[in-house]
Amino acid sequence: MLVIPAIDLKDGKCVRLLQGDFNLSTVYSDHPPDIAARWQGKGAKRIHVIDLDGSRDGLPRNRDAIEKIVRAVDVPLQVGGGIRDMKTVDDYINMGVNYVILGTVALKDRNFVLEACATHRGKIILALDARDGRVAIEGWTESTDRSPMEIASEYEGFGLDSIIYTDIQRDGMESGVNIESTKMLAESVDIPIIASGGVANIHDIEKLLEAGESRIMGVITGKALYTGALKLEDAIARIAGFAGGL
C-alpha cells in the first residue's frame, strides 16, 4: 500500500482546506516544489497534487506551480483539479505528469472520460468525493444524488489506474479515515481504491492495512503530515513491516 502525500495548490501556494471550504485554508508553503522534494526525500513513491482553484473554476489555475513540481521530483505525480477536456489531459501527460485525475467530468461527460482512458490507458484516475454517501462535484460545491459505488461500477473495464475515494466531511479534520465506506467501495468494484480524507495518525494506516485485502492500493494524507501527527517515514516503515509479516 502506498502512502501518498498531498499538495493542494491555491494561488500558487501549498495549502490545506477544512472540508473543502476555501474560507478555511491554512498556508503551509509559498514554494510547493520544496514540499514535493521533502516528501520524496522521506520516501514517498507517489505524490498527489490538486489545483484547488481549478477544481472550483473548472479549468487549470496553477499550471506553472505544477510544472515546477514536475521538474523538482523524480517520483510519479497524480494531478487533478479543473480537468475537463482532452487538451488539458494531453498537456499534463506531455508535461511529465504520470496520472491525471478526473472528478466532476465523470458525472457530466462520460464519453470524455472513456476517451481519456483509451488514449492514456493506465494513466487516468477517477476521483469520487462523497458527502453523506452521495458524490459531490465542482470542487465539492455541488451535491448529487448518486452513490460512489453506482458511479464506480460504470467505469469498470476501461483501463483506469485507480479510484480515489474521499469522505469530504473528514477531509482536513484528522478525524480518522472512513474505513467502512472505503472498504465497501473497494469490495464492490474490480478497480484499485485509494483512500482519502481524515487520516489522523499511524493507527489509520494500520486499519487500512488490515482492510487491504479488499484492493485498497494506497492512502492520501495531507494535514496529518503537515502538523506532524503522522510521520511519512513511520507510515512507510509500518507498511513494510506489515508486508514482511505476511
pLDDT confidence of residue 173: 47
What residues contact 150, with CB distance under 8 A and at least 6 apart?
A: none
Query: Strand (E) positions, 30-172?
Result: 47-51, 77-80, 99-102, 124-131, 134-137, 142-143, 162-167
pLDDT confidence of residue 25: 81
Nearest to residue 66, comparing CAs of 92, 29, 99? Answer: 92
Burial of 37 (0-12, 13-18, 19+ CB in 10 A): middle
Tens-place pLDDT, residues 149-183? 999 999 999 999 999 998 875 554 455 788 888 99
> SS3 helix, strand, coil % of the chain, rounded to 5?
40, 25, 35
pLDDT confidence of residue 213: 59
Q: Are 48 and 7 in contact (CB under 8 A)?
A: yes
Neighbours of 71 (CB within 10 A): 11
pLDDT confidence of residue 185: 92
Catalytic sites, residue numbers: 8, 129
Q: Which ranges of the chain have pLDDT less than 70?
A: 18-20, 138-142, 169-175, 212-214, 244-246
pLDDT confidence of residue 142: 65
Q: Which long-range contacts (CB under 8 A, 24 or more apart) does 227-235 make?
A: 227/174, 229/174, 229/200, 229/201, 230/199, 230/200, 230/201, 230/202, 230/204, 230/205, 231/42, 232/3, 232/5, 232/39, 232/42, 232/43, 232/44, 233/42, 233/43, 234/202, 235/3, 235/202, 235/205
Topology of domain 2-244 in CATH is TIM Barrel (3.20.20)
pTM: 0.91
Neighbours of 30 (CB within 10 A): 10
